[in-house]
Chains A and B, each alone.
Chain A
Amino acid sequence: MSLTETRPAKAAPPETVALDAEDMRRLRLQRFDKIGKWLLPLVVLILAIIGWDRLVVWNNIPHYILPGPGLVWTTLVQDWAMLLDALLVTLQITMMALAVAVIGGVGLAVLFTQSRLIEMSFYPYAVILQVTPIVAIAPLIFIYVDSRTAGLLMCAWLVAFFPVLSNTTLGLNSADHNLRDLFRIYGATRWQTLRYLRLPSALPYFLGGLRIAGGLALIGAVVAEYVAGTGGIGSGLAFRILEAGYRLNIPRMFAALLLIAITGVVIFAGLSFLSHMLLRKWHESAIKRET
């Protein structure tokens, strides 16, 4: 029995056809787009740094008001050991908070979709926790929680978990209705429906929430450190910024700020990459189309 249906073959490159001016122009544009995506922001960065440097030099701005980029760089190198320690502390809190946010967010989302009762009872409080600014809650947390790390973790978690919760809930509920019917017809158990249908359907939504949560966990960790304010060994980047501010060590403030910004970008890029790897085979968002 031959039931094979021919599939449109991938468009072969028209090697034999000579490129006309129009094609050449399109190719040039494509190439420009590809390079420009990297090159243009880089050019802007370099121009901004040069502008910053000239601004400081030409106006004789003292370094305790605005240090030049060169000084920030030197400070970064000089204070590297101390700043790296601080970065690791902040990073540790951020990553732990993100991990707990994922476990808590996904766990709650699953509970919410399994039981309407639980969702109705607790969802409003999840929203309340989310909309109350963390700076307002943090001082209380540090009164009741003895361990500083636990307090920081709690603050960062509070900020980060909501996007995971709300996105995953949305994802779990957006499983295709016909597929749900099909699972019912085949007598799937609740667990099977969750494992084989709802969780995979929720994956793209969850990953979207995770990318937001990654940035928020860092913000939560930094804000909590500001509030906690204890110093000494084992302090994070935010405390180093505060401390440097008291000492009018502005270059170190910039250096620490730079590290925080880079950390945020790296977290976002890492999670975006993870998302791409998990979805690239099947989800519309990760599929490149030839135009």
Chain B
Amino acid sequence: MSRPERPPLGQRPPVLEMIGVDKTFNGDVVALKAMNLTVNQGDFISLLGPSGCGKSTALRLIAGLSLPSRGKIAWAGGQGENDLGVVFQEPTLMPWATVSENVWLPFRLRGQPYAAVKDEVLEALKLVGLEKFQNAYPRELSGGMKMRVSIARAMVTKPRLILMDEPFAALDEITRFRLNNDLLKLKEAIGCTVIFVTHSVFESVFLSDRIVVMAARPGRVIREVTVPAPYPRDEDFRTSAEYAALCREASAALHEAMGEPA
């Protein structure tokens, strides 16, 4: 598969911009304060922070599931039909539908019959290594496999931006490492843009080229850590000195976010 060209950081066209976004609940609970974020094409951005820092709120705002109290979220070139794919913390599959029917869903909701998009669906399943399970029901799959189906569903339409809300938090460490590796391979294969919410320093450094560190009360961005290591990244990167140094840096920023000495 040919890898889409990806310009280095700083030379990528923007996809989405958050400009001075506030989100207040019930009039006085400030979930997010003055958030600015430019998402560029091909970015892998992690939102890293303690609970209550507004990272999931930011994701919901971008997804259009709630509206900002102030500020705006602007899509480059306006909003379209194929802006988003989403992966939640749970696999969120329809238990009554087979694996391929679940992956078909985004197309189906656009009125496209299965026969017309069968190739795309099977291609997506192949990318996550589940082409043999297209006729299985979700309950027949393990937790990690369900998450793969969920990822296949998010990317099957090749959306402009994929949002992932702590997708691997509920999985065991071994499955998590494996899915981290596979997610990067996938990203390289289809050249997607990802915003990934996590509270794991190691995960964020391994996956992202930009780590946006957020603090709580009120939820806000306090620092951005850039991970210059080139993709593809593999186990060698996970054990390298560079990785360790970056983890220290991100960890220090996280401690700062939590108001503790590093």
List residues of chain A with CB under 8 Å of any chain B CB. Answer: 1-5, 7-8, 176, 178-179, 181-188, 192, 196-197, 200, 203, 281-284, 287
Contact = CB atoms under 8 A, between A and B. Distances in A.
A183 B175 CA distance: 28
B144 interface: yes
B113 interface: no
20 contacts: A1-B189, A3-B182, A5-B129, A5-B142, A5-B145, A5-B175, A5-B178, A7-B145, A181-B63, A182-B92, A182-B105, A183-B109, A184-B64, A185-B86, A186-B109, A186-B110, A200-B94, A281-B96, A282-B139, A287-B139
A196 B110 CA distance: 13
Nearest to A176: B92
A282 B95 contact: yes
Contacts of B94: 179, 196-197, 200
A273 B259 CA distance: 61
Contacts of B127: 1, 3
Contacts of B197: none
A7 B142 contact: yes
B166 interface: no
Interface in B121-149: 127-130, 132, 137-139, 141-142, 144-145, 148
A3 B148 contact: yes
Interface residues of B, number: 36
Contacts of A284: 139
B95 A283 contact: yes
B65 interface: yes
Contacts of B97: 200
Contacts of A5: 129, 142, 144-145, 148, 175, 178
Contact of A203 (B86, B96, B106, B132): B96
A7 B137 CA distance: 14
Contacts of A7: 141-142, 145
Contacts of B189: 1
A178 B88 contact: yes
A187 to B, nearest CB: 7
B92 A179 contact: yes
B217 interface: no
A283 B96 CA distance: 7
A5 B130 CA distance: 8
Interface of B: 63-65, 81, 84, 86, 88, 90, 92, 94-97, 105-106, 108-110, 127-130, 132, 137-139, 141-142, 144-145, 148, 175, 178, 182, 185, 189
B137 A281 contact: yes
Chain A to chain B: the 6 pairs with minimum beta-carbon distance, closest first = A3-B129, A178-B92, A4-B129, A186-B109, A200-B96, A178-B88
Given A5-B145, A7-B145, A185 B185 contact: no
Given A3-B128, A5-B148, A283-B95, A185 B142 contact: no
B96 A184 contact: no
A252 B163 CA distance: 71
B108 A196 contact: yes
Contact of A185 (B65, B90, B141, B182): B65
Contacts of A196: 94, 105, 108-109
Nearest to A192: B109
Nearest to B93: A179
Contacts of B95: 282-283
B35 to A, nearest CB: 20
Contacts of A203: 96
A1 B185 contact: yes
Nearest to A278: B96
Contacts of B148: 3, 5
Nearest to A6: B142
A283 B64 CA distance: 32
Contacts of A183: 109
Contact of B81 (A187, A188, A192): A187
B160 to A, nearest CB: 13
A183 B110 CA distance: 11
Given A1-B182, A181-B86, 16 more contacts: A3-B182, A5-B129, A7-B142, A178-B88, A178-B90, A178-B92, A182-B88, A184-B64, A185-B84, A186-B109, A192-B109, A196-B94, A200-B96, A282-B96, A282-B138, A283-B95
Nearest to B81: A187
A76 B195 CA distance: 74
A43 B66 CA distance: 64
B137 A187 contact: no
**Most chain A CB atoms below 10 A, which of B84, B94, B106:** B94
